[in-house]
Structures are given as C-alpha cells and as structure tokens.
A = this chain, B = another copy of it.
Amino acid sequence: MQRFINDPDQVVEDTVKGFVRAHADIVRLADNPRVVVAKTAPVAGKVGVITGGGSGHEPAFIGYTGKNLLDAVAVGELFSSPTAKSFHDAIKAADGGRGVVCLYGNYAGDNMNVKMATKLAAKDGIAVATVVANDDVCSAGPSERDKRRGVAGEIFMWKCGGAKASEGASLEQVRATAQRAIDNCRSVGIGLGPCTLPAVGHPNFSIEPDTMEVGIGHHGEPGVRVEPLKRAAEVARDMCGIVLDDHDLAAGTEVAVLVSGLGATPLNELYILNHTIAEEIEARGLTIHRTYVGNYFTSLEMVGATLTVMALDDELKRLLELEVHSPAMR
C-alpha cells in the first residue's frame, strides 16, 4: 500500500488530529475525541445542526463544520457509523436551546445509532429532529426511495439546513427545509478503481481495466453493474441520464450541480466530465444556477466521480448562497 499512514488502526485518530490542527480557527474537539465542533457552537437560540458518519470520505463529514453550516459532527471508524454516544455528544455540543436537527445518510448503522442517540438526548431534554439522506439513485428503485443511500447530496442538505438554522428558523422549519433539500437531490457514482481499508490491506473488489462500476457507493462497495469504460463525454451523459430520468424535472427548473471526485481522481478529469454534464443538463431545458466541482465527498483513494443535481426554488437558492466558513467550503 503506497499510502501516507501510520498505524492502520489509527487512521481516523490521526486524520482528526491533523484536521483540528489545520483548522483550529474554525473547529475544536469535544471532550469526546470523536466529535468535531464548530468554534461558534453552540449558538444560543439557534437550532443546532449536526451530522455524523463513517470516516474515509474527507472532507466529508468533518470538513463541513463551521459557521452557517454544521455545528457538530460525530466521527465514525473508516466506513462505519459513529457510536450512539458520539451522535449523542454531538447533539449536546450543538444544542443552543432550540433543539437539534441531525442530517445524516441512510445506512443501517447510522440509522440505529442515531435512533439510540435521539433517545439519550430526549433524556437530557433536547428535542432532536432527523432527516435521512437518500439521494443515490442506483441504490434502490424509484418505488423504494427510502432504501436509497445518502451520498454527496448530503452536502446540499447540510448547506441548506445549516443556513436555514442560521436564519433563526424553528426546529421543525429547519427539518422541513433540509428534507426538501435532499428530496430535491439525485446522485449517481461511477467507479474506475477500488479503495483499500488500511486495516484490511487489499481492495474489496477489483475493477478490471477498461471497465467501470456504475452506481457505486461511497464505501468501496461495488456498483450495481459493470460496463465497459467509455469516453468521458459518454460517461457524463450516462450519469446525467441516470440522475435526470429519475428526477423528472420540469423544463426551466433551476438546478445546482455537484461533481465530486471519489478521492484519487484528479480535478482536471472532473472538469472534463463537467463540460458534458453541463451541456446535457442544459439540453434538457434545465438552468444551471451554480456548479461545484472538486473532492467534496470521497471514498478513500477510490478512482471515480459522483454527480448530484439538486432542483432549486427561491428559498433553496437563497440558502445555498449564504456565506459559510468551514474547512471544506467557504
């Protein structure tokens, strides 16, 4: 493994330490070293906004901690949900007296740990509302949207939920807005190369040269099907097809576009994809309001990319524009 790590079992510890050192102006650790907290948190009278999830997706989740974004983030092992205790501690760190919304992704572990944390928080008298992201189109059919994984659309959910809370909205309003944000998102992932959990030492599965995994997740899981690797423009068109066919947006709808690398795909290739993605989205009569291209939500050193399209309305546009100050997004 040609990687910069120390002990394979300490990857998360070391990552979080180096992260907090780099961004000590924005974040701090809670007493629980698996909880990253915005230096601004808790904000009295503001609904707290938290998330949590497995590590290995950097800058997600911790990088989105900061002003007008997330107040606290529970940190799990690589690709593994944080403990109920860490979610609970994140809730406590974010609580400004008006309740806390937990905006997380649809994974069995997270579902269970958040449920338990919510019960623990109730005992502390903290009202917790939850929104479960399920933007990943390929992970289940349209009739089973509640089974779909949460992927890079979570970033839009955090951005809009965080902004809404900063505007002074109530817990229910923040929850409803974050829910609308993620309901308006569809995502797809394409994998060209797998990743290796350092403690395992070899990749989960292999991607044969000149093939690609369509509908890949964020955890080194294989995709839903293997296809021959095509030119970038064709890949981009396939990605748009999967996302937009499921989305079914009226012509004229304004959208935000997020093209994220999975960790080992260089930025220039993401721009190459974006060129065709933008053409394709506009060819369908949609208007691109804003585009994000970069390593926003990764999967260790996986080679590949994800596309997320969020349909916008006036409120979501306003919330997207609110300035933020976090390590991953400014």
Contacts and interface: CB of A to CB of B under 8 A. Distances in A.
A260 B93 CA distance: 31
Contacts of A235: 4
A330 B325 CA distance: 10
B271 A14 contact: yes
A268 B58 contact: yes
A5 interface: yes
A272 interface: yes
A264 interface: yes
A19 B272 CA distance: 8
Contact of A232 (B6, B21, B276, B294): B6
A295 interface: yes
B2 A300 contact: no
A15 interface: yes
A41 to B, nearest CB: 21
Given A264-B264, A264-B301, A266-B58, A6 B231 contact: yes
30 contacts: A2-B209, A2-B210, A2-B212, A3-B269, A4-B192, A4-B235, A6-B233, A6-B272, A11-B272, A14-B271, A16-B271, A18-B275, A18-B293, A19-B274, A19-B293, A21-B278, A21-B291, A22-B271, A22-B292, A56-B266, A56-B268, A59-B267, A63-B267, A263-B267, A264-B264, A264-B265, A264-B301, A266-B295, A294-B295, A301-B303
Q: What 4 pairs across the A-B complex have the smallest Cβ distances?
A: A18-B275, A18-B271, A264-B264, A2-B192
